[in-house]
Amino acid sequence: MLPSDEQGDRQKVTFKLPASLKAVLKIRAAELRVDIQDAVADAMSEWKAASRGDVPQVDTAGAPPFATWLTEASTSQFKSECSTRGIPYVQGLAQAVTLWLTAHPSPRHQPPELTTRRIIVCNQKGGVGKTAVTAGLGGVFAEDAELARIAGGAFPGDAELARLAALLTDAESTTGEPALVEVDDEYEAPQLRVLLVDYDPQGHLTKQLGIKQLPANGPSLAKFMSRQVTGDIHDLIVPVDDERFGGRLDLLPSCQDAFLLDVMISAARNRQATLEHALEPLEAHYDVIIIDCPPSLGIAMDAAIYYGRERDGEREGQSGILIVVQAEDSSADAYSMLVEQIDDGVIDWRITTTYLGLVVNLYDARDGHVVTSSLSEWYSLGEPRVIGVIPRRKEQREAARTRRPLLAYSPSCAQSRVMRQIVKEIS
């Protein structure tokens, strides 16, 4: 039975579906904790988006009636697509369910390498550079291997970072960044399919990449999370065009309606799972999904924390939380509040969450003792460990001004090199 708030939007529709597919669909939906009608709606959307050459023919002889609940628009679009493809409705539905089952395997048998990595970039303090780190890491994950080798040059090594923290040499005190060592010959750019998600209603990531925010009166991530719209969330995706990324880097732009997201999802069942529900149809298309979180400790942040949890079958550290800080006291205060929220969620939802590490951004030792001593304190935490110290330099500001990704604007600068180091640390 549908919830009362959805009965007006959906209506009972009867198709036909092979009994074997219906049985597997019922089990899979239960395993993944989704309603069958939601699974069917997602299956139809994914089937419409799939290349016809990727859609298998299914034996539908003797298929019995199959009833589900769909919106009038979804039903109409599905029937229209079947007519366009010249196939019966039973064949279209069978193909859609088959594709959905393939894209959403049983968690009992899902090999770790098939699980999309989910990286939650966060800190409830604004202005620490979460957006710059999100865009930088996304660029590194998607970067062309040959172009990365040409641009690599050198990386700050762990030993140099430790010396930077302790400020043991005059050179480090003067330059404010570690000395550079030769690039690791074993480094290979991952060349993965990456989706950046601008989860912040301020839209800094969207604007920095030169892409328009989604209109407030149209579909958006927030509306998919709150189930105020139906359709295909793929339609919101915008590619980040640059030869360095080879068509592997995409963005889900922000929309200002996300300012109301906490209110929009506050009454939802399993509201902590709303982000996962919205993004799940995209996971089969990407190797890595990186969430640029808003500076908030609200319900939306709960949904992001839950989305980054360790799923069954994942290796430890495959997904998790990446916290961006600065070497100053207010970042430490914000960090404590964020960790408290994460720890509460782990207990309340009975999940396991991995801290991928701390990234200290906009560091310059020339700012004095408060900054250098603060960096030492970040290192002294031990866990989560510091996995990157990004120097304060002009290239990131210039890249944002020109509306280009950092790695496309200045692939060999010190900031780009540290971004590569961070990806290596968490890979």
User: Which of 3-12, 42-51, 361-370 is predicted least confidently?
Assistant: 3-12
Q: Please give the pLDDT value at position 283.
A: 93
Helix, coil or strand: residue 44: helix
One-letter amino acid of 192: L
Would you say 254 and 200 are in contact if contact means Cβ atoms under 8 Å apart? yes
381-406 tens-digit pLDDT: 888 999 999 988 888 889 989 999 99
357-385 tens-digit pLDDT: 999 988 877 778 777 888 888 888 888 99
Give the span between the Cα atoms of 339 and 298, in whole angstroms. Answer: 13
Q: Please give the pLDDT value at position 268.
A: 84
Classify residue 290 by burial, with Cβ atoms within 10 Å: 0-12, 13-18, 19+: buried
Query: Is pLDDT at 331 greater than 90 in this prediction?
Result: no
Give the span between the Cα atoms of 94 and 87, in whole angstroms. Answer: 11
Mean pLDDT across 50-73: 85
Query: Is pLDDT at 179 greater than 80 in this prediction?
Result: no
User: Which of 63-67, 181-185, 307-311, 417-421 is predicted least confidently?
Assistant: 181-185
Query: Is pLDDT at 144 greater than 50 in this prediction?
Result: yes
Q: Please give the pLDDT value at position 109.
A: 57
Give the span between the Cα atoms of 320 and 359, in whole angstroms. Answer: 14
Task: Write down the CATH superfamily of domain 113-426.
Answer: P-loop containing nucleotide triphosphate hydrolases (3.40.50.300)
Q: In 3-state terms, the chain is what percent helix, strand and coil (to 5)? A: 50, 15, 35
Q: Residues 221, 234, 74, 116: what is their CA dihedral angle, to the nearest 10 degrees?
A: -80
Pairing state between β 194-198 and 288-292: parallel
**Tokens 């003067």, located at residue:** 174
Give the span between the Cα atoms of 7 and 222, in whole angstroms. Answer: 21
**Phi and psi at residue 188, to the nearest 5°:** -130, 130
Q: Please give the pLDDT value at position 108.
A: 67
- Classify each residue of 228-239 as buried b or exposed e, where b means 16 or more C-beta atoms within 10 Å of its C-beta: eebbbbeebbee
**Phi and psi at residue 141, to the nearest 5°:** -60, -35
195-254 tens-digit pLDDT: 999 999 899 999 999 999 999 899 999 999 999 998 899 999 999 989 899 899 999 999
First to last CA, the chain: 44
Q: Which residue has the higher pLDDT, 153 or 253?
A: 253
Please report which confidence band the pLDDT of residue 181 belongs to, taking 50, 70 and 90 as the band edges: very low
Mean pLDDT across 259-269: 87
Q: Please give the pLDDT value at position 295.
A: 87
Q: Please give the pLDDT value at position 3.
A: 39
Residue % of the chain over a pLDDT of 70: 87
Would you say 300 and 269 are in contact if contact means Cβ atoms under 8 Å apart? no
Paired with 121 in beta bridges are 292, 322
Residues composing the chain: 427
Query: Is pLDDT at 165 greater than 60 in this prediction?
Result: no
